[in-house]
Structure formats: structure tokens, C-alpha cells
Amino acid sequence: MSKSMSWAARPEARSRGATLALAALVLLTGWRIAWLVVDPSELYVDEAQYWFWGTELAFGAYSKPPLIGWLIRAATELLGQTTFAVRVAAPLLHGLTAALVLLLAQRLLGRGAAVFAALSYASLPAVALGSAMISTDTPLLLCIAAALLLLHELARRGQIWRASPGTAAALGCVIGLGFLSKYAMIYAVAGMCAAAIVHRSWRIRRADLAVAAVLALAVLAPNLWWNASHDFVTAHHLAEDSGWQGLRLHPMQALRFLLEQFAVMGPVLFGTWLLALLNPGRDDGPLRGLLAASAVILGIVTLQALTGRALANWGVGFVVPGVIVVAARLDRAPLLRGLSLVLALAVTLALPAVRVLGTDWRLPDGALLLERFQGRAAVSHRAIGFARDHGAPILLAAERDLLADLAWQLRAEDGPQVLAAPAPDGIPRHHWDLVRPWQPQPGAPVALLAKADAPPACANGLAPLHSESWTAGPGFAEGRRFTLSLLPPGCLTSGEEK
């Protein structure tokens, strides 16, 4: 679908449409931020972990690149150590991504379709959820949108033989930052290569490609150095997380992953995208390029699901080019466009309110609707108080989720001087194994928090000095037993609870 003649002939209409769309994006972003201010939910384990990464400002972390920690550090330095500050970058970055989608769509579509693309992105179910909590997908999507816009501009200038080293450098920096957000940026790069193969409107000059590649590597280089200096622990983790099982195929897992995309993108939008994939001939060249880019991103992760495992959000980068393709397809289907926006806006407006008002809501099986965001603080405060009351300067926990929230709660509470994980016997199991391993040593007793119903059996004929067990209340571990133990020096051997 080409840019409409009426659109091209009326630049003032284009400006007015863009202004109205941007105003809507600002209002939606403000709505999300307003609810975040009063959101009582606790940090999820990943959010607390990313905050902890930001306290170190390293060039890498155990499982992901470091940009998410840097963003959180910047926000908390400005706004204080609060859950709001940890999360506020999410709605802001998604709003900016929607604005970039609008700019790119304006180059390829008519006024109404471009506005629909931007509003559709801003109200996607995945974006609605991603605006209520901080995740690595959020800066990744922003980098993908910026990279596509810069790539298209470079290709346009290249067709008239205009040198654009500045734009090429910007493209390289954005791609590098995408990799620092999440290594899944490699899927987007593969998608951009596919777009360039499909149509010349995405092909850039070799000189610009060289500049972009050099800058991308320069931005990524510190993280590559960090990984090399830490025995490529992130690569080991990613290989393990993929669940690859050789040549064994799991078609039902791949089918489930694809069905989950109806929830990621929304039923109308993803259904339309699938139809576009089955009949790509209806789109003009630039849109076929975007269709190829989105198909490659989602196709790679679908293949991953077929041969191992893949979570629903692992291919989320496809939605950036995907919503533009869908907006073009629905340009002459006002009823479907209206239905899609009504459904999406209902979800995106309701979700932050549910986070605030639904803390006591339970599912039919009895589980709390928001259980993953509740109950962690109670466990952490009890552990910190136990260590403080018994004079233990060291607090240990083996599980990542416990350590993440303990670190977060200790930011504002007097407690043990050291938070660490028992040193592993093999490769690190999580970030604390990597940066805060504790080796048994003479000295003061240690406090141990464990998901267990009894204290550990000590080594060397020793016994716990004191212990207490309890059943967790409502929240992430409702009904589960926890034990706090005061252990003498030498009770634990390296990496194990004996």
C-alpha cells in the first residue's frame, strides 16, 4: 500500500494527525505513570535483580547485558530508592517507541494508518504489561524502532548518493545499545538484513554499513570484554536457558509459542499479521521488507521453541515492524481497526488499575492474581530482623529470588553487613554466585534463609545455634515453608548446605 495522494498533497493534515497522535501517546503515558505512583505491588524478582545490577554499574551481568541496570540507576539517583523510580522508565520508553513507530509509519503509510500503527503499538497487551514493570524488552523495543527508522533514512539517502556518516554512526550506536539491552537484538539485525534483501528501500551503502558496524562493535565491546573476563558465564547461561535438546523436535511447544503471540500482540493484530504473512503480495516493497523483518524475528524464536524452549516474550521485537504491516493491511477495514483499538485500549487502561486495586483478588484456583508481586518483603524483613537480633553480620541465601529481594530491602533497613550466596561447587547459578560468593571462614555466626521446613545439618559435627520455621502468607510463596537458621562458623561447606 503506497502513501496516499491526499496525504502527500496535504502536509498540514499530516502535521495535525501527528500532533493528535503524539498528544494521545502523552496522555496514555501519563495515565500509566499516575498509576505507578500509587502502585502498592512489590518488585518482582527480575526487577529487584536489575536494580542490584545498577548499584554496581558493571559492563555486564550474569544473565543479561547491563543497560537495564544503568537505566534503573539513573532513575533512582534522580527520584530516590523507590519502586516507582525503578519502574518509571518503562512507560516513558514505551511512549518514545510509539512515537518512533509513528515517524516510521508516516514514511510508508497514509495519515490514518500511521496514527493507527502508533496507537496500536502503545496499547499492545505486551506493552501494557511492560509499562507496569521494568524489563529488558523495553529498551530493546526502543532500539529496534530507532534502528529501523535510521536504516530507512540511510537507504533513502543512499539512493541519491548522499554520504551520511552521522546517520550511519547513529545507527551503529543504536544497534550497540540494543545489544546492551538484550542479546535478542541479534534477531532484529537478522530481520533488517532480510528487509534489505527483499527491497532496496532498506539497503544502505557499503560505506554506511561499515561505519554502523564499527560503532555497534565499539558500543558492545566493553560488554564483550566483561564476558570474556568472567569465563563467558552469560553465554553458558543463555545456552542452558534455551533448553536445546539436540535434534529432538517439539512441534506442540512451537505451536503454543505462536498461539501465545495472540496475547502478546492482540487477537486482531496478530491474526492480521498472519494473513499478511500468508499473502505478502498485497504490500508494496518497503512494507514487504518490514514483513520480512518481523517474520525473521518471530521465526527464529519459533525455531527455538521447536528445538528447545521459548517464552512468549522472547520474540517480542517482531511487533515493531509488525504493527506497521498490520496498519497497512487494515487501512481499509475501519471496523476491524476500531475493534482492535477498543479491545487494546480497554486492556491497557484497565491493567494499571488492576495492579493497584486487585491486590486481594484471587483466581478460581485460589491463587492471588498478583502473587508474584506480593509477599517477598515479609520474608525479607523477617530474615533481616533475625540476623540483626542474633548478631549475625552475614546473611546467606542460595536462591536468586530471595537474594534479589533481600538486597532491595536492605537498601533502607539496618541489618547484616554482608549479603551473599553459599559459593557454588561448579559454575555460578545466578548473579550472586558470581559477584557475592561466600566461603566458609572462622569468625562470627551466619544467618541462613532457606526454602525448607528444617535447618540444615551442619558439617564437622556442629549444630545450628538457633532456628525458626514458618509458613509464608499470601503472595509468591503462599503456604510454603521457610526456615531461618543461625549457624556457627564452619557449619556450611563450600557451595552446599550439609
Task: Give 281-313 pLDDT, tens digit per residue.
Answer: 766 789 999 999 999 999 999 998 888 788 888
pLDDT at 7 over 70: no
Structural contact between residues 219 and 176, judged by C-beta atoms closer than 8 angstroms? yes
Please tell me the predicted confidence (pLDDT) of residue 196: 95
Residue reference for cell 521453541:
305
pLDDT tier at 53, thresholds 50, 70, 90 = very high
> Residue 150 carries which side chain, given as an amino acid letter?
L
Q: Provide the grid cell at 30.
A: 501519563
**Residue 496: its pLDDT value, please?**
43
Q: What is the percentage of the chain residues whose pLDDT exceeds 70? A: 94
pLDDT (average), residues 49-54? 95
pLDDT score for 456: 87
Residue type, 7: W
For residue 247, name the pLDDT band (cuts at 50, 70, 90): low
Residue 230: the pLDDT is: 83
Q: How much is the pLDDT for 484?
A: 95
Greatest CA separation found in the chain? Answer: 87
Sheet with 437-438, edge to edge strand ranges? 437-438, 418-422, 394-397, 446-450, 481-487, 466-471
Dist. CA 115–CA 134, nearest whole Å:
26
Has residue 442 got a pLDDT over 90? no
pLDDT score of 237 more than 60? yes
pLDDT score of 283: 60
Give the least confident one: 192-196, 328-332, 416-420, 452-456: 416-420
Which helix (DSSP H) or strand (DSSP E) does residue 142 occupy?
helix 137-159
Average pLDDT, the chain: 89
More confidently predicted of 403 and 235: 403
DSSP state for residue 456 in the 8-state scheme? P
Instruction: For 323-378, write each residue's pLDDT tens digit.
Output: 999 999 998 888 999 999 999 999 999 999 999 999 889 999 888 999 999 999 99
Q: How confident is the model at residue 498 (pLDDT cuts 50, 70, 90)?
A: very low
Residues 6+ apart with CB under 8 A from 432: 400, 403, 419, 420, 421
Rg (CA), the chain: 25
pLDDT at 226 exceeding the cut of 80: yes
Report strand pairing: 418-422 vs 437-438.
parallel
User: Does 61 have pLDDT greater than 60?
Assistant: yes
pLDDT band (50, 70, 90) for residue 6: very low
Nearest by Cα to 319 from 168, 97, 171: 97
The residue-averaged pLDDT of 24-46 equals 95
Residue 447, strand partner residues: 395, 486
When pLDDT is cut at 50, 70 and 90, the band that residue 212 belongs to is very high
C-alpha cell at 72: 534503573
* Nearest CA among 107, 127, 153, 123 for reference residue 328: 107
Distance in angstroms (rounded) separating the CA atoms of residues 113 and 328: 6
Q: What residues does each domain of the chain span? A: 5-357, 373-487
- The alpha carbon dihedral of 139, 140, 145, 147 has a sign of positive
Average pLDDT over residues 215-224: 96
CB 200 within 8 A of CB 285: yes
Which whole number is the average pLDDT over 110-115? 87
> pLDDT tens-digit profile of 400-433?
999 999 999 998 777 777 898 887 777 788 888 8
How does pLDDT run across 379-404, given as a tens digit for each residue?
Answer: 999 999 999 999 889 999 989 999 99
Q: Other C-beta atoms within 10 Å of 496: how many? A: 13
Q: Which is higher by pLDDT, 460 or 453?
A: 453
Among 101-115, 264-278, 434-448, the range scoring the smallest mean pLDDT is 434-448
